[in-house]
Amino acid sequence: MIATHLDAKALGYCNAGLRRWFPRDGVTFEDFRQQGVSTDWLRATGDAMAIRLAKYVEQHAHSVTNEGAKE
């Protein structure tokens, strides 16, 4: 599952805080802004805010899937 810069902004994260996660494993902040990163990658950072973003993206995707199933 992919987390995007927009997802991070939805949680109120600022760019200065987000930049702390980069570069890591060949991924730059610009890569994240343009393409996003996997929720697994976020968890691997060990950063509590990154893990919170991963959970947010996964829960949001799950709730959207469940909404579609209700129709």
17-37, pLDDT tens digit by residue? 999 999 999 999 999 999 999
Q: What is the pLDDT of residue 70?
A: 56
- In angstroms, how far is the first alpha carbon of the chain from the final one? 24
pTM to 2 decimals? 0.85
What are the extents of the domains in the chain? Answer: 2-62
Tokens encoding 71: 């129709």
- pLDDT tens per residue, the chain (71 residues)? 999 999 999 999 999 999 999 999 999 999 999 999 999 999 999 999 999 999 999 999 887 766 655 55
